[in-house]
Amino acid sequence: MRGLRITWAVLRKDLLLERRSFELLPAMALLAIGTMVVLKFSFDQDEISGSLAAGGLIVPLLFAALLGISRLFAGEERDAGIHQFLLSPAPPGAILAAKVAGLALVLAALEVVLVPAFGLLLLGPSLFPVLPQVVLVLILLDLTLATVGGLVAGMALGTRSRELIVPIMVVPLTIPALIAAQKALAPVLAPGADPLVWRWPAVLAIYAVVLALVGSVVGEYLVED
């Protein structure tokens, strides 16, 4: 209970800071949409569907998430936020939990822009009929990306070459989630809009839960110096 209250306090502070500076979300959106344009030309097809379309949504999202993850503790770094936090009696894991929640919210906000852009720029079949399935898969993917991101950003705290370490650690760790999201979205985005194979959202959910459990056991050790 106390942990949740502190997590909420940190999350509120982070959202306030992001609202005030408003720099991360626009940068992530620009990178993601730019990547979609690149993919459009590298696929070199009039309209894409199925597996290619799933990749066209997931890859820009991954790039944007990488940007978000490497900036996850930027605000804390600028103003010695970890020290501020460690001078209080708050449980150390709470700051990591707040970062995970904040990143998941930022990714969700990003998708509000990204999914329509994807429907306009890349996708051949209409997006509307399959929107609920796409949203469901994306929410699960957000949770996984955010958990991986929180853990990796936590590990990279206090490293000298964060911008090198974070992406090379995030990419392999997210591959199972990306495979599952790709497999889930590919039939949904196919021309006939095949039904969702429930196995894959389940895999995503299980991965997110396992990571969150591991994180809740080991995460607190990352915020100690």
Where on the chain is the footprint of other proteins (CB under 8 A)?
Answer: 2, 5-6, 9-10, 13, 16-17, 20-21, 75, 78-81, 83-90, 92, 151, 154-162, 164-165, 168-169, 171-173, 175-176, 179-180, 183, 199, 203, 206-207, 210-211, 214-215, 217-219, 221-222, 224-225
Minimum distance from CB of 180 to other proteins (Å)? 6
- Cα 176 to the center of its chain, rounded Å: 14
Alpha helical stretches, state H, 44-194? 50-70, 74-78, 81-86, 93-121, 131-156, 162-188
Report angle CA 211, 215, 216 to the nearest 5 degrees. 120
Closest to 105 in 3D by CA, of 61, 58, 142: 142
If the CB atoms of residues 113 and 176 are measured against other proteins, the closer one turns out to be 176
Shorter beta-carbon distance to other proteins: residue 33 or 157: 157
Q: Which two tokens stand for residue 24?
A: 């991360």
Task: Using the minimum distance from each CB to other proteins, give the nearer residue, 15 or 108.
Answer: 15
Cα–Cα distance for residue pair 177/6, rounded to 1 Å:
29
In angstroms, give the least distance from the CB of 51 to other proteins.
Answer: 11
Token match 């993919």: residue? 39
Q: Are 114 and 62 in contact (CB under 8 A)?
A: no
In angstroms, what is the minimal distance from the CB of 128 to other proteins?
27
What is the smallest separation between the CB atom of 215 and other proteins, expressed in angstroms? 8
Instruction: Report the residue number, 21 or 126, with the smaller CB distance to other proteins.
Output: 21
Residue number with CB closer to other proteins (112 or 175)? 175
